[in-house]
Chains A and B, each alone.
Chain A
Amino acid sequence: MLRHLFKLIWNKKGAHSLLIIEIWASFMVLFGVLSLIAFNLNNYLEPIGFEYKDVWVLDLSTNQDTVNLPEKSLRIMQRIRSYPEVISASRTSANTPFSANQMSNSSTYNKVSVSHDFYVTDEDFSKTLDLPLRKGRWYEESDISARFIPIVINKKMEDKLFANENPLGKLIKENDTLSYKIVGVVDKYKAKGEFMTDNPALFKMLKKEDWDRNVLIKVKPGTDANFEARLVKDIAAMTDQWGIEVSYLSESRKNRQNLTVIPVVIFLVICGFLLTNVALGLFGILNLNIAKRKNEIGLRRAMGATEGNVTTQFLGEIWVLATFSLIIGLIFAVQFPLMHVFDLNSEIYITAILASITVIYIIVTLCAWLPSRQASLIHPALALHED
């Protein structure tokens, strides 16, 4: 029967060409949107690697003040750490978690070069963000006197540079004159949130005398705005005309998520609209097709087809048609995983391909089911009588 259906559709390929193009186009759009969703979902399912709850970001703007900044910074840190509400505080570069700022660089080990995100933080960073270590330790104040600047890398970077080698104690080069010594390895650090890819990351120690405007503060659960007001007031009293802003990582995370989710939702709505149109078109065409083929339905019933056979035949025809379209679509879609387009994992594309195929078959089945069922209920004597 399958062969018969293929033959029937193949012999009518001219008449079905627009339908084939329509299903093909739907598949391609769906593949694009589902690739985006699969990519984001894949990232979302991986943990971000740190704890953002009850962590505040203090943004200190020195404005015109350029005098003794490291010393002032040190005093501010001492003050912050002295509050009973504060569990831990850490100075960090401007690319704080969930912010729009990004710093990147590339480092080399044994002639293998890796591009990575770059974070400059002090010795309390790991404690403040509850960033667990897989290997070694986080850098300490005493490390700064060593010959090489201490760094911590993440597992992704370890895998890219060292494969099966132990990275601890190894030197990696930023350039010919600057080398870093690895003292620890963390698992993941997805600073841009759940939807970020787990990129290679490198944490470099911030020297005490270096000024950086951001401070991460881990406060005790339940710490409220009263403390925030007190903190801002106290720091303002210690500085002259500095701008002080406090934000919460949990809020920044939500904003960051929206930046990913909103475009996906927009694409989904557009795709849903397109698919609805295709489905309605398909439904109309099938209804018309069946009305035109009443004689054939009567004939098949006379030749021994049951109601079920007629339903299956019309469903089978649309499946064959969808299969033709999907084969054409697959020729395009498989190029993405084969050529590693956008440097994405092949699994993402394969998942999107499989999901798109499933959705297309579901749509064509839903659209064909009712007309096919109606076709099977046409009385054979009446169908044969119509010309």
Chain B
Amino acid sequence: MIRLQNVEKVYRTSAIETLALNNINLNVKKGEFVSIMGPSGCGKSTLLNIMGLLDEPSRGHIEIDGSKVDKYHDKNLAQLRNKKLGFIFQSFHLINDLSVIDNVEIPLLYRSSSARQRRELAQEALEKVGLSNRMKHFPKQLSGGQKQRVAIARAIVGKPEIILADEPTGNLDSAMGNEILSILQKLNEDGATIVMVTHDDAMARRTHRLIRLFDGTQVL
């Protein structure tokens, strides 16, 4: 589903060069639930951003669902992100000025769908994460766990095949974290391919496969 070949990422400033990822070769199969672990600064988020087409590798190739995306332009990449990928972030990234349901609808704004369709799909996604009773609330009125569930609803509203989660339980207590992971597991059982960055061994053990990074190099 996601294939990375000889991926390298170098951050350059006028003074120094930092090798964030070094020769990463990775193949995430359809329906897999993969976790990425490693110490802070080892390149986990960079790897996830590259997989999510939010960042470009300095070298190497990326394939998403069999398509090489190296030469894709902004418009094609945006379309691919919109249709194939769903993102979940540690700090939720909800827009505080929009209600829960309006936040969930955001990915659908960038594809051709009517207001009615958007509303129906957003309601369906919120029902899946158990927040159908909070649709008119604003993010500030929600707990951390509820916010993350809204973020999951937003990630799945467009029915993407791949979900990329960057420390989705990082800002939550263990009970809330478990709840979020259960939702992700359920989504995986329903067919979604999930790649999750985490610091938590217990969480990682509940996924199909673990990838370990150290100083930008894949060690496991």
Contacts and interface: CB of A to CB of B under 8 A. Distances in A.
Chain A, interface residues (CB within 8 Å), range: 20 to 34
Interface stretch (A79-87, A180-188, A305-313): A305-313
Contacts of B55: 379-381
A306 B79 CA distance: 8
A308 to B, nearest CB: 8
Contacts of A304: 78-79, 81-83, 107, 110-111, 158
A34 B82 CA distance: 47
Contact of B54 (A1, A12, A381): A381
B175 interface: no
Contacts of B105: 4
B89 A8 contact: no
Contact of B93 (A12, A295, A306): A295
Contacts, number: 72
B194 to A, nearest CB: 16
Chain B, interface residues (CB within 8 Å), range: 20 to 34
B95 A299 contact: yes
B115 A7 contact: no
Contact of B106 (A3, A300, A381, A384): A300
B90 to A, nearest CB: 10
Contacts of B109: 1, 4
Interface in B40-95: 45-46, 49, 52, 54-55, 74-75, 78-79, 81-83, 85, 87, 89, 91, 93, 95
B179 interface: no
A380 B49 CA distance: 9
A35 to B, nearest CB: 37
Given A7-B102, A301-B54, A302-B81, A384 B74 contact: no
A303 B97 contact: no
Interface in A360-387: 379-381, 384-385, 387
Contacts of B93: 295-296, 298-299, 384
Interface string A151-180: 000000000000000000000000000000
Interface string A329-365: 0000000000000000000000000000000000000
A305 B78 contact: yes
Contacts of A299: 89, 93, 95, 106
B98 interface: yes
Nearest to A10: B97
B98 A8 contact: yes
Given A303-B106, A381-B55, A11 B78 contact: no
B98 A380 contact: no
A301 B115 contact: no
Given A309-B78, A381-B49, A302 B97 contact: no
Given A3-B115, A295-B93, A304-B111, A380 B54 contact: yes
Contact of A303 (B46, B74, B87, B91): B87
Given A7-B98, A381-B49, 8 more contacts: A1-B109, A298-B54, A299-B89, A302-B85, A303-B87, A303-B107, A304-B82, A380-B54
25 contacts: A7-B98, A8-B97, A11-B98, A12-B97, A295-B91, A298-B54, A299-B89, A299-B93, A302-B52, A302-B54, A302-B81, A303-B82, A303-B87, A303-B106, A303-B110, A305-B78, A305-B110, A306-B74, A306-B110, A379-B55, A381-B54, A381-B55, A384-B49, A384-B89, A387-B91
